[in-house]
């Protein structure tokens, strides 16, 4: 597990750097450039979708050439370029350009990093390994957000966003240094291999079904920026909004390992279905909430949903993917999520503008329940590699 912890620490420091900035972006867009919810949705959707196209190719390259560590290093390095781009941005298009750079980096690093976690884990403790990684990842996010909260609280309405953008570069550099100490499993390059899509019909049925369910679910799971805007629409200060986002990340960090362990014991499907149902409850809550105190509970529950799904779905895909295509399949799932995020975020923004803040959350809750239903009814039926139930 030593390698898993090192990879977790890479994510820990990188996410400190990222989350010092990310929850402030929608607030920065509104205060500095007068952005609307629709524009925020378009910016987040474009950034996620453009970058997502790289994820499957990054995974394929890591499978083909067995150079996972250098790919991950390149992906994490773009985090520093992202902060520099934010520093020099003078319009919302500059922020869009910076967000695309950041998401491209995520697209490059996610698949090879997840394969490194998979290769470093005991096959019977895959859920625990991904849970540990996700816990450190979310702990870094929580700390980064807490730093942003402290700085916002002391700003007294005169917050210097660009100073924070500059400071956030430091933990990103620390994460890159730690990555140098990660050990990569030595493998010889394989002879030229056919792309996976030429043999797609031979992929496990559960895998193909889960990829389809992922797309349906993500259509209702718009950017977290809308959760921040929802809290802001209830009259909370920027500092209080950021503190709520901190609660979400802290909750996810605390529960990722326990839910990873539970998925090892009781099966991935049960935990994923529970996660989708929890998401639906949270989104229904965001639709009807009228008391700011209830937001604390909702953001905490949103952290539970993340703990139930983020690491568990990677463990699931790692288990039911062909051995030589783990990186490609992990990348494909991330690509599908990214592609769905563009229409998801645009739809959420349009629903918000047309029908009010409640509409995008009701839409997301309904699609989440549909995804849970599909997993319950269809997954594990007459497929080649049945999963634990």
Q: How confident is the model at residue 380 (pLDDT cuts 50, 70, 90)?
A: low
pLDDT tens track for 259-293? 989 998 888 889 999 999 999 999 999 999 988 88
192 within some domain: no
Structural contact between residues 135 and 8, judged by C-beta atoms closer than 8 angstroms: yes
Per DSSP, 157 falls in state T
Tell me, yes or no, whether 194 lies in a domain.
Answer: no
In a domain, 188, yes or no: no
Contact 47, 96 (CB under 8 A): yes
| pLDDT single digits (tens) 163-192 | 888 999 999 999 999 999 988 876 655 544
In a domain, 385, yes or no: no
**What pLDDT score does 385 carry?**
42
Structure tokens given for 273:
């279905």
Tokens 């970058």 sit at which residue?
A: 51
The total number of structural domains in the chain stands at 1
Residue 292 pLDDT: 83
Is pLDDT larger for residue 54 or for residue 208?
Answer: 208
Neighbours of 199 (CB within 10 A): 12
pLDDT confidence of 389, banded at 50, 70, 90?
very low
DSSP label of 35? -
Which residues span the domain enclosing 108? Answer: 2-183+200-378
Q: Which two tokens stand for residue 183?
A: 């050990």
In a domain, 51, yes or no: yes
Region 357-367 average pLDDT: 93
Question: Residue 229: CB partners within 8 Å, gap ≥ 6?
Answer: 26, 37, 40, 352, 357
Instruction: Please state, for a pLDDT cut of 90, what percent of the chain lies above it.
Output: 27
Are 79 and 202 a contacting pair, CB within 8 Å? no
Residue with tokens 């394989």: 190
310-325 per-position pLDDT tens digit: 888 888 888 888 777 7
* pLDDT confidence of residue 251: 93
Which alpha helices (H) appear in 220-291, and where do they start and end?
A: 225-233, 238-266, 268-288
Position 387 scores a pLDDT of 41
In a domain, 20, yes or no: yes
Q: Is residue 206 part of a domain?
A: yes
Return the structure tokens found at 225: 């920026």
Spatial CA neighbour of 17 closest among 128, 148, 134, 125: 148
Mean pLDDT value of segment 217-228: 84
Q: Can you tell me the mean pLDDT for 125-145?
A: 87
Sign of CA dihedral 200, 203, 205, 210: negative
64-107 residue pLDDT tens: 666 788 888 988 999 899 999 989 888 888 888 888 888 888 87
| CATH number of the structural domain spanning residue 310 | 1.20.1250.20
End-to-end Cα distance, the chain: 26
Answer whether residue 99 is part of any domain: yes
Task: Count CB-CB contacts under 10 A for residue 2.
Answer: 10
């Amino acid at each position: 597990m030593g390698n898993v912890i090192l990879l977790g620490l890479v994510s820990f420091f990188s996410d400190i750097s990222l989350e010092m900035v990310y929850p402030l972006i929608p607030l920065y867009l509104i205060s500095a450039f007068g952005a609307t919810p629709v524009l925020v949705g378009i910016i987040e959707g474009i950034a996620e979708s453009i970058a997502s196209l790289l994820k499957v190719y990054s995974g394929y390259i890591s499978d083909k050439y067995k150079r996972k560590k250098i790919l991950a290093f390149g992906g994490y390095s773009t985090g520093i370029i992202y902060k520099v781009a934010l520093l020099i941005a003078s319009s919302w298009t500059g922020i869009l350009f910076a967000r695309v750079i950041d998401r491209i980096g995520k697209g490059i690093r996610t698949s090879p990093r997840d394969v490194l976690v998979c290769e470093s884990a005991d096959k019977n403790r895959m859920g625990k390994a991904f849970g540990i990684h996700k816990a450190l990842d979310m702990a870094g996010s929580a700390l980064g957000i807490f730093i942003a909260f402290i700085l916002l609280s002391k700003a007294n309405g005169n917050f210097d966003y660009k100073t924070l953008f500059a400071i956030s570069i430091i933990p990103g550099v620390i994460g890159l240094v730690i990555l140098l100490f990660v050990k990569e499993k030595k493998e010889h390059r394989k002879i030229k291999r056919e792309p996976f899509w030429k043999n797609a019909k031979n992929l496990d049925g559960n895998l193909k079904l889960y990829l389809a369910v992922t797309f349906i679910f993500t259509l209702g799971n718009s950017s977290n920026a809308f959760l921040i805007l929802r809290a802001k629409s209830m009259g909370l200060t920027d500092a209080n909004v950021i503190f709520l986002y901190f609660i979400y990340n802290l909750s996810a960090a605390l529960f990722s390992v326990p839910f990873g362990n539970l998925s090892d014991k009781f099966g991935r499907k049960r935990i994923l279905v529970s996660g989708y149902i929890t998401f639906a409850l949270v989104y229904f809550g965001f639709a009807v909430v009228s008391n700011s105190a209830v937001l604390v509970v909702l953001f905490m529950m949103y952290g539970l949903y993340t703990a139930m799904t983020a690491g568990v779905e990677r463990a699931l895909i790692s288990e039911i993917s062909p051995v030589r295509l783990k990186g490609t399949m992990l990348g494909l799932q991330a690509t599908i999520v990214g592609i769905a995020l563009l229409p998801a975020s645009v739809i959420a923004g349009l629903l918000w503008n047309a029908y009010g803040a409640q509409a995008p959350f009701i839409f997301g809750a309904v699609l989440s329940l549909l995804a849970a239903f599909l997993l319950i009814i269809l997954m594990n039926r007459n497929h080649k590699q049945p999963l634990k139930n």
